[in-house]
Chain A
Amino acid sequence: MNEDLYNYILGIADNSLILGQRLGELCGHGPSLETDIAGTNISLDLIGQTRSYFQYAAKLAGDDRTEDDIAFLRLEKQYTNVLLVEQPNTHFGYVMARQYLFDVFHLLFLKELQGSKDETLAAIAKKGIKEVSYHKRFSGDWIKRLGDGTEESHAKIQEAIDDLWTYTDELFDSTAADAVMTAQGIGVDVSKLKDTYYKEVSDLLEEATLATPESKYFTRGGKKGTHSEHMGYLLSDLQYMQRTYPNMNW
């Protein structure tokens, strides 16, 4: 098996899996019917993309591993999602800030990945671009609405952006698998997306009457499997059924 490609795929997919799980936790708890449906729709898209990646990874593994094994039966240290996506659903503004900060990256990333020499990854990316464009429009609109809304919504969304800012830089870290895959024309050099990302985000923040944080202190670790405290709780929820009733089916 091509270990680098396998790890590379999991690195991409874990972001979608964990963010999808986070949004799924909100099913039935959104502040309004529309935002509730939107959150679960976005979650569904992300989990759908995750399935495509994991099905491909399971095929590459060539043993009896399935997409579900990859999703449910790894240990915390084996998940390589960025810290940003595992942050908890503190409040709606926080959820939208987390979403937007990821969506901008996600779309830039998929637009590059669609040019991958790996046909399956290119196909998943092409499909994902259509979906993620909708996600970004939704989260971006909310950032503007909350920023340009009431005094309270403005203060809360600014605080959420400030809090989550520390997790943005990790998006552009290159892992060992990244480097190998990029050299082969399969992967994306994420470090090249950084300037475009920060420009786009700060333009939208300005439109939303919000300040772009100036902090240069960034937190990282997720890509190497070192997660925040929140991850353990998330995984115990995600993995509960498969751990308790191995191989159970709906």
Chain B
Amino acid sequence: MTIALQPNIQEHLLATLALVSDPEIPVLTVLDLGVIREAIEENGVVRIKLTPTYSGCPAMDVIGDDLTAAFAKEGKKVEVELILSPAWSTDWISEDGLVKMEEYGIARPLSETADKEALLGNKKLVKCPQCGSTQTHMVSQFGSTACKALFQCDDCQEPFDYFKCLK
């Protein structure tokens, strides 16, 4: 079975969607994050299928409200549907988004195998977003939000968030 991973978004809606950002990582738009799986306008109503990063992610309610507000400015109504399948993966974050995330001070998710090694403390693989060193260690498997772990750099000593790989 093949699952369409490419979101189905009408071109003319992209600009408005790009105005809505993740409340917890404000440099990322909902498009960068890959949580919009479908956006289609019919008779002045924009139907959006949104997928949560984590089940309990409180940002989803806020994103829903923000989408409604963004399109309201154009006189359009929004209907948001939360979908769970296929489940969101960190692979859906755009390359552009990953770069912005690093500039913001959050280390980007590693591959699934590397992520496991890093979180188990077997190998030093997570790159410090401040100085670029990989001499880092995990402080806490759970960080400031469900999607992140807390790390510290052994070279520059700065603590930082690491966006955990989710597949």
Q: Are B85 and A137 in contact (CB under 8 A)?
A: no
Contact assessment for B87 and A51 in the assembled complex, using a CB-CB cutoff below 8 Å: no
Give complex CA distance A130, B141 in Å: 14
Q: Mark B33-60, 1 if CB is under 8 A from A, else 0.
A: 0000000000000000000101111100
Secondary structure of the B contact surface, majority rule: loop
Q: How far is the CA of A126 from the CA of B86 in the complex (A)?
A: 9
CB-nearest residue of chain A to B164: A134
On chain A, the residues within 8 Å of B145 by CB distance are 41
A34 touching B55 in the complex, CB below 8 Å, given contacts A44-B146, A52-B84, A130-B167:
no
Residues A38 and B141 in contact in the complex (CB < 8 Å), given A52-B55, A131-B55: yes
Instruction: With both chains docked as a complex, state the minimum distance between the C-beta of A75 and any C-beta of chain B, in angstroms.
Output: 26
A51 lies within 8 A of B56 (CB): yes
A 110-132 binary contact with B (CB < 8 Å = 1; else 0) = 00000000011011101110110
Size band of the interface chain A makes with B: 20 to 34
| Contact assessment for B143 and A126 in the assembled complex, using a CB-CB cutoff below 8 Å | no
Partner of A128, one of B55, B57, B140: B55
Mark B70-95 against chain A: 1 for CB-CB distance below 8 A, else 0.
Answer: 00000000000000111110000000
Q: How far is the CB of B119 from chain A (nearest CB, A)?
A: 8
Contact with B along A132-144 (1 / 0, CB 8 A): 0010011000000
Q: Distance (Å) between the CB of A141 and the closest chain B CB? A: 8
A37 at the interface (CB under 8 A from B): yes
Would A51 and B150 count as touching, CB distance under 8 A?
Answer: no
Q: How many residues of B contact A (CB 8 A)?
A: 24
User: Do A34 and B84 have beta carbons less than 8 Å apart?
Assistant: no
CA distance A200 to B56 in the complex (A): 28
Given contact pairs A52-B84, A123-B84, A130-B166, A47 touches B140 in the complex (Cβ within 8 A): no
A127 touching B140, Cβ below 8 Å = no
Contact in complex: B140, A37 (CB < 8 Å): yes
Chain A: CB-nearest residue to B140: A34
Give the CA-CA distance A123 to B142 in the complex, in Å: 24
- B56–A46 touching, CB < 8 Å: yes
A80 at the interface (CB under 8 A from B): no
The 8 Å CB contact of B52, one of A38, A48, A137, is: A48
Complex alpha-carbon distance, A92 and B144, angstroms: 21
5 pairs from A and B in contact (CB 8 Å cutoff): A38-B141, A48-B57, A122-B85, A126-B86, A134-B142
Residue numbers of B with Cβ under 8 A of A are 52, 54-58, 84-88, 119, 139-146, 150, 164, 166-167
| B-binding residues in A (CB < 8 A) | 33-34, 37-38, 41-42, 44-49, 51-52, 119-120, 122-124, 126-128, 130-131, 134, 137-138
